[in-house]
Amino acid sequence: MSLNIVTLVGRAGRDPEVKYFESGKVVCKFTLAVRRRSSKTDEPDWFDLELWNKTAEVAANYVRKGTLIGIKGALKFDHWQDRNTGLQRSKPLISVEDLELLSSKRDEEGAPRNTYDEF
């Protein structure tokens, strides 16, 4: 048996970046700041998120920097070759399957734009 499930709740660290492909597919990428319950520091953990198709469109339309969201997805690694050194590089990212908008419209209107800084 194998299992790869990631569930996180946090605030968007930046506005989503959206890319539309000729095939009709949509990808959306942004970061998520998550504070650990047991953390002795004020620094959050940062996660790179990747969303596709309908989930990407929802994020593009409703998520802004500081928005409180919940996500469920899988951990994967993005691989590429560094243009300067030619070395193989990789970074972890969360491939998001489910997105929950946890901030209400009223919360977003009344809150300062940098609410993610409260971490």
Q: Which domains does the chain have, with CATH numbers?
A: 16-78+89-118 (2.40.50.140)
pLDDT for 63-88, tens place per residue? 999 999 999 999 999 999 999 999 99
Per-residue model confidence (pLDDT) at position 36: 84
The residue to which tokens 């996660």 are assigned: 47
Percent of the chain with pLDDT over 70: 85
Is it the case that residue 104 has pLDDT exceeding 70?
Answer: no
> For all residues of the chain together, what is the average pLDDT?
88
Q: Phi first, then psi: what are they for 89, rounded to 5°?
A: -125, 160
Mean pLDDT of 19-37: 94
Please give the Cα distance from 28 to 65 (Å, whole number).
14
Residue of 114 and 23 predicted with greater confidence: 23
Per-residue model confidence (pLDDT) at position 118: 45
Binned at pLDDT 50, 70 and 90, residue 59 comes out as: very high
Is it the case that residue 116 has pLDDT exceeding 70?
Answer: no
Report the alpha-carbon angle 36-29-43, nearest 5: 25
